[in-house]
Structure 1
Amino acid sequence: MTLVPADVRITEVRTRAERAAFIDLPFRLYANDTAWIPPLKAEVKALLTPGANPWFEHATAAFLIARRGTLVTGRISAQVDKLVQAMPLEQGGGSEVGHWGMFEAEDAETAAALIAAAEDWLRRRGVSHAMGPFSLSVWDEPGLLIDGFEQSPTVMMGHHLPAYESYITAAGYTGVKDLYCYELSIVEDMPPLIQRIVASGERNARIRVRKVDKSKFAQEAAIILGILNDAWSDNWGYVPLTDAEIAYAGKKLKPVVFEDLIMIAEVEGEPVAFMMTLPDLNELTADLNGRLFPFNFAKLLWRLRKPKVRTMRVPLMGVVKRMQATRLASQLAFMMIEYIRRASVANYGATRSEIGWILEDNQGMRSIADALKTRINKTYRIYERHI
């Protein structure tokens, strides 16, 4: 067991003031990091709050703060998710698996104390295999940034200090899975081969690629989630979303869903693939300093009416399992990518896209990214240790 330095005190968040300190810490630690984007504090508060975040219906968590004297020098979460523990071992699950995340530390001693405290909390709940960071789940911000520190994070992606990698490995952790983000310029036309593939698909009467209909939001969301659950079900780390989580995500995403940025591909009338793209909302919130009220909420709503951004992020894309690794699946993917590329440039002024994250062993998606002449611009790593 790691010994906690005498001058580092670890306590669990119990009060509103302690929760505020937990949320506020990164604002001090990243004050001089020009790539960091302040998160909206109200969003972080909702993430951490049972009753607001339906993740707590199947999971439990502790939020820990480190202090030296009166100064808060670090934070970490420790969590046990019943749905993770129900997943197969080969997919990163198992009855003895627990996670930690929300990790921030001012120095190596604080980091060691936090990780030790999170492990102790997990052990008391029968966990012998710790993995992290997951902040809080694979659907939130998984992984530690280990490459790409010079670029600001896109919406729903994390950003971390370079020292954190050494803090985690010093605690005995090794990497279990890397997650890649790919960037590409979208102002140029696609490579000629891809243009021919798209044109061929457009001549195929069996294929229809359409925009979502926001007036039928619930039905369209059900179609997309049905494809997602099938397409991603064998992926490492995959945990199915509950009905409550789907409703929660839909409520959060609806204001930032733009019909020409989300495509559904049908073959002979059956939806078989989708692609979701979001304007990089971090560009629209970067100057709000984490606060929506009293005036920034109206400012953000105004910006969202007709958002103009440099970057588009593709967080989700999927093809039903029976079609994966087929030429048709690749054709549908390229068609959706091309249609969204055109809309992104013409309607939102975007010049670049970030696709990801993509698992290191997801050869199908990585092949598509390679064909688009992308480059890996950020790498996130998930670590594990038997405790």
Structure 2
Amino acid sequence: METIIQEVTSKKQMNAFLDLPYVLYKGNPYNIPKLRFDEAATLNRAKNPAFDFCEAKYWVAYQNGKVVGRVAAIYNKKYVETWKNNYLRFGWIDFIEDIEVPRALLAAVEGWAKVLGCTAVHGPLGFTDLDFEGMLIEGFQEIGTMATIYNYPYYPVMMEQLGYGKAVDWVEYRINVPEKLPENIAKIADLVEKRYKLHVVPMTSTKHLKPYASEVFKLVNETYSELYGVVELTQRQIDYYVKMYFSMIRVDCITLIANEANQLVGFGISMPSLSKALQKANGSLFPFGFIHLLKALKKNTEADLLLIGIDKTLQGKGVNAIVLREFHKNYQKAGIKIIESNPELEENKKVQSIWDHFPARQHKRRRCFIKHF
């Protein structure tokens, strides 16, 4: 069957691009539908500040007039300058189980890459490290999270058939929250707090969080700078993320650590799991989607770890034990029994070794694929 590729240049085509996953994964018990307005904003040149230094093209695949695939291509100029790799990114890739569809979609991406003089195409990646990245290659029968991509098992098989290989993998853990914090974690946390004159920032509402919001992302820039594909967030991006996400965060799921000068030196951000609520909302806040989300934020037995960062001068000195101690204390109060780590680079053994102290299992793996020209 002939596959026709069209570049997205109209509102109708963008709607087709945004709508495909809700059709392709309808009824799938493991997929977590993204909020449609959030997806639309990220891809919108007028709204996403990443377009200050990014170019993007989107394509939709059709067979017999029916949408059967989609892909985005992103040329991140700051990535090229920072990493000295003239690579084009792809993301938001979905397709039916017909290899001719991803073949045609990726041919469009590769064609643009060659016009730009790129030497490789890699993905799935987003505009920034805070966008969705990594194609699932293990854990297809595990429920996803709001921060990750779900895809069918045939996706990575077809990527390999089309000449794409491994660039990097991320792993994920499902962790049981023990009744009692491991004694060694508690001792290290107390010792480090005293030795380096650190303290946990007291917070009872988001108004206590807001003064530190920008500092959190500045610390993200510092601590995440050497991770695969990461590009420093601009102030406009920081302001965008603070406005979009910090208003809905529960402060008892956040730990901020400051030094004696009250400067932020570490943080841990988590939130109650929205996976099941997002499945019920199915991409829309209205008329009832927001109710499911509010209920999940208020009462839950599961949580997602989103970001942990420690000032480089204090890394490897046990500060993360303070974050774990505070998380454990707050999870016990909130009735949280299980947490999802979300993706961690497979070579990041320091982070993964933390879960050796808890009942945990590595249950998912995802991959960034690459194809050199």
TM-score w.r.t. length of structure 2:
0.92
Quick check: 52-61 or 286-295, which moved more?
Answer: 286-295
The alpha carbon displacement at 1:87 in A equals 1.4
Partner SS state of residue 224, structure 1: helix
| 8 A contact 2:176–2:358 mirrored in 1 | no
The aligned residue for residue 345 of structure 2 is 359
| Match status 1:157 vs 2:148 | yes
The alpha carbon displacement at 1:371 in A equals 3.4
The alpha carbon displacement at 1:359 in A equals 1.2
| 8 A contact 2:214–2:242 mirrored in 1 | no
For residues 16-47 of structure 1, what are the alpha-carbon distances to aligned partners after superposition, in whole Å with 9 as ceiling and x for unaligned?
Answer: 11111111111221124211122211111111
| 8 A contact 1:211–1:262 mirrored in 2 | no
Structure 1: unaligned runs, 5 residues or longer: 1-5
For residues 160-190 of structure 1, what are the alpha-carbon distances to aligned partners after superposition, in whole Å with 9 as ceiling and x for unaligned?
Answer: 1110001111111111111122221114323
Q: 2:252 aligns with which of 235, 248, 260?
A: 260
Q: 1:340 aligns with which of 312, 327, 336?
A: 327
Q: 1:110 aligns with which of 95, 101, 104?
A: 101
The alpha carbon displacement at 1:255 in A equals 2.6
Partner SS state of residue 142, structure 1: coil
| 8 A contact 2:95–2:101 mirrored in 1 | yes
The aligned residue for residue 287 of structure 1 is 280
| 8 A contact 2:268–2:309 mirrored in 1 | yes
In structure 2, relative to structure 1, the CA distance for the partners of 1:205 and 1:66 (3 Å cut) is closer
Partner SS state of residue 306, structure 2: strand
Q: CA RMSD for the aligned pairs?
A: 2.1
Partner SS state of residue 87, structure 1: helix
The aligned residue for residue 185 of structure 1 is 176
The alpha carbon displacement at 1:117 in A equals 1.3
Question: How far apart in 2 are the matches of 1:135 and 1:272?
Answer: 27
| Match status 1:98 vs 2:93 | no
1:97 partner letter = Y
The aligned residue for residue 384 of structure 1 is 370
Partner SS state of residue 356, structure 1: coil
Question: How far apart in 2 are the matches of 1:143 and 1:236?
Answer: 11
The aligned residue for residue 61 of structure 1 is 56
Partner SS state of residue 70, structure 2: strand
| 8 A contact 1:62–1:77 mirrored in 2 | yes
The aligned residue for residue 80 of structure 2 is 85
Kindly tell me the number of residue pairs found equivalent between the two proteins. Answer: 370
Question: After superposition, where does 1:293-332 map in structure 2 within 5 Å?
Answer: 293-297=286-290, 299-300=291-292, 302-303=294-295, 307-325=298-316, 328=317, 330=318, 332=319
Question: How far apart in 2 are the matches of 1:51 and 1:278?
Answer: 29
TM-score w.r.t. length of structure 1:
0.89
The alpha carbon displacement at 1:370 in A equals 2.8
